[in-house]
């Protein structure tokens, strides 16, 4: 029997902190933390007291038990028990953390600070490793800068970390304010280097919500109006940048489409596709192109074959075409010879234009616009993450339409996708034929409309019944971004992040009304 003075409460807080720290530091720390907090909860006993806490919270912490039961019920009809059990194992934090946190005594402000600070410390450490790899050129593409978890989830967590830092800054009266301000800029700078689209979006929303919170809380008019002006100017800046970049990719220079030559100097035929409106530096990407001459010319000048990848992990053929187009060169043998040794090195390093983007945000916008154009014209999607995702979404939606009420179950999801790609002669290579990177669509595919409605009700009910604050609002936005951009609950970091902060914010009476963003009332 455990001694009554055993420090269960201290361990409870420390284990939550370990999970928070481990979210950006890899699977091991997360797993150890979840197992440890569960064991501590059992060994502590006091189940009568925990039952009363559960009743006082109107049994809302049991929401994920119902979530689990839905998975088990649908899993009974699966044709692949192994995949179903593996999915349930991966989602165990969604069962363990809501129960342990939801039936424990409310955290006090000092304990909350410790947990949030440990989450920030994990992000600082993970970003620090990324900075080290970046400045020592120890990476092939920006994804490698996220050493421990997916760059998509790290980007989301960094955005949430910015919001947490702003939240703690607003509720701290000592010199730690400057530390939190430094952390905000530290995370913003790493998001810029990481080049994560989800990171940019999450970071921008975190800043906007923080400014709204500051403006609502401040009694000084100039702070209020300055915050609103900053939000408006930032929004206009992003919209303006999108407009400029879109025009750059879709507007040709004067005369470049007129009288294209039929033959190269070696009397080989050019390929011209003027209907494909993609431009680099105002020159058409898919005109004046002789594939045979470009292949032979490139392979004679570079040690990287034309059918391989550049050092950023992109298909080097595409990098060659974009770079040559940006210089206004004909894409033939003569054009290859006109490339300098520096040009060849740039292409090998994955630089696709003589006018490379000046910022990570600009690069992300350009990449997104280019890949959208590629999808629009049904071009080869392989090696282009956004285009591939659009194919995944299309596949997932069609699978759902064929099984609208109850879905295909968890165990059959993967086989249904592979079957769909095969039947429709998908342009995707075998290794790229994946499931929809969208949690909402995954729910629809696996559980159908019936299961989807039940799951959405279960996840929404505690949110509706909780007070709104900067932290709760930002968390909700982060989850929506995560669900839209990825199968968030099919990854351990995503599952654990959801389980931990959902439990803290919505299932444990966390006192978050210090810094309200919308109202101070409970719906």
The percentage of the chain sitting over the pLDDT mark of 90, rounded to a whole number, equals 38
User: Is residue 50 in some structural domain?
Assistant: yes
259 and 201, same structural domain? no
Using alpha carbons only, give the angle 80, 98, 107 rounded to the nearest 5 degrees. Answer: 160
Are 89 and 171 in a shared domain? Answer: yes
Our CA angle for 405, 411, 415, nearest 5°, is 90
Q: Is residue 177 part of a domain?
A: yes
Residue 356 lies in a domain: yes
CB contact at 8 A, 278 and 315: no
Tokens of 462: 């505690």
Q: Which of 345, 379, 413 is the last residue of a domain?
A: 379
Q: Is residue 75 part of a domain?
A: yes
Residues 262-278, buried b or exposed e (16+ Cβ, 10 A)? eebeeeeebebeeebbb
Q: Which of 71, 165, 66, 167 is nearest to 507 (CA)?
A: 66
Sign of CA dihedral 426, 431, 432, 434: positive
Taking residues 176-194, report their average pLDDT.
Answer: 90
Q: List pLDDT tens digits, range 8-35.
A: 889 999 999 999 999 999 889 999 999 9
Regarding whether 35 and 162 lie in a shared domain, the answer is yes
For residue 318, the number of C-alpha atoms closer than 13 Å in the C-beta half-sphere is 19
- Answer yes or no: do 357 and 482 share one domain: no
Q: In this structure, are 197 and 299 located in the same domain?
A: no
- 201-221 tens-digit pLDDT: 888 888 888 887 777 766 666
Summarize pLDDT for 86-142 with one digit per residue, the tens.
888 889 999 999 999 999 988 888 899 999 999 999 999 999 999 888 888 777 667
370 and 279 fall within a common domain: yes
- As for how many domains the chain has, the answer is 2
The answer to whether 310 touches 299, Cβ cutoff 8 Å, is no
List the domain range (segments joined by +) for residue 338: 250-379
Q: Are the C-beta atoms of 181 and 140 separated by less than 8 Å?
A: no
Across residues 433-455, what is the average pLDDT? 92
Q: Report if residue 430 sits inside a domain.
A: no
User: Is residue 479 included in any domain, yes or no?
Assistant: yes
Residues 190 and 272 in one domain: no
244 within domain boundaries: no
Does residue 228 fall inside a structural domain? no
pLDDT tens profile 325-373: 989 899 999 999 999 999 999 999 888 888 776 566 667 777 777 777 7
Please check whether residues 263 and 209 belong to one and the same domain: no
């Amino acid at each position: 029997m455990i001694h009554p003075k055993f420090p269960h409460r201290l361990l409870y807080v420390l284990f939550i902190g370990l999970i928070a720290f481990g979210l950006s530091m890899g699977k091991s720390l997360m797993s150890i933390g979840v197992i440890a907090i569960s064991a501590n909860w059992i060994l502590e006993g006091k189940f009568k007291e925990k039952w009363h806490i559960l009743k006082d919270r109107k049994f809302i912490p049991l929401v994920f038990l119902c979530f689990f039961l839905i998975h088990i019920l649908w899993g009974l009809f699966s044709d692949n028990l192994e995949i179903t059990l593996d999915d349930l194992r991966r989602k165990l934090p969604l069962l363990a953390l809501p129960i342990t946190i939801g039936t424990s005594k409310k955290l006090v402000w000092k304990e909350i600070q410790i947990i949030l600070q440990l989450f920030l410390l994990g992000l600082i450490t993970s970003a620090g490793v990324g900075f080290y790899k970046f400045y020592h050129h120890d990476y092939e593409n920006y994804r490698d800068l996220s050493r421990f978890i997916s760059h998509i989830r790290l980007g989301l967590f960094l955005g949430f970390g910015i919001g947490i830092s702003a939240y703690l800054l607003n509720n701290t009266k000592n010199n730690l304010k400057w530390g939190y301000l430094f952390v905000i800029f530290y995370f913003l700078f790493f998001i810029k280097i990481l080049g994560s689209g989800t990171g940019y979006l999450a970071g921008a929303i975190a800043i906007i919500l923080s400014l709204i919170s500051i403006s609502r809380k401040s009694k000084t008019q100039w702070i209020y109006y300055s915050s609103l002006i900053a939000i408006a100017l930032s929004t206009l800046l992003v919209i303006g940048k999108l407009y400029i970049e879109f025009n750059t990719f879709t507007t040709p220079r004067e005369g470049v489409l007129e009288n294209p030559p039929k033959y190269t100097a070696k009397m080989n035929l050019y390929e011209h596709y003027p209907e494909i409106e993609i431009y680099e530096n105002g020159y058409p990407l898919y005109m004046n192109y002789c594939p045979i001459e470009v292949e032979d010319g490139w392979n004679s000048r570079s040690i990287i074959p034309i059918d391989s990848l550049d050092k950023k992990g992109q298909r080097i053929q595409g990098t060659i075409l974009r770079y040559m187009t940006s210089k206004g060169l004909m894409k033939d043998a003569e054009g290859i010879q006109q490339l300098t040794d520096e040009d060849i090195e740039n292409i090998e390093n994955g630089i696709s234009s003589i006018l490379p983007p000046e910022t990570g945000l600009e690069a992300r916008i350009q990449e997104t616009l280019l890949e959208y154009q590629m999808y629009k014209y049904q071009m080869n999607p392989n090696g282009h993450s956004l285009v591939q995702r659009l194919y995944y979404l299309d596949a997932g939606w069609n699978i759902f339409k064929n099984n609208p009420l109850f879905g295909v179950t968890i165990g059959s999801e993967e086989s249904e996708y592979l079957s769909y790609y095969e039947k429709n002669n998908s342009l995707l290579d075998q290794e790229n034929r994946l499931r929809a990177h969208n949690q909402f669509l995954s729910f629809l595919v696996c559980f159908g409309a019936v299961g989807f409605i039940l799951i959405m009700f279960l996840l929404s009910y505690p949110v509706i019944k909780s007070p709104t604050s900067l932290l709760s609002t930002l968390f909700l936005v982060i989850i929506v971004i995560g669900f839209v951009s990825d199968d968030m609950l099919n990854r351990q970091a995503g599952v654990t992040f959801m389980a931990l902060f959902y439990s803290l914010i919505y299932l444990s009476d966390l006192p978050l009304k210090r810094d309200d963003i919308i109202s101070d009332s409970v719906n």
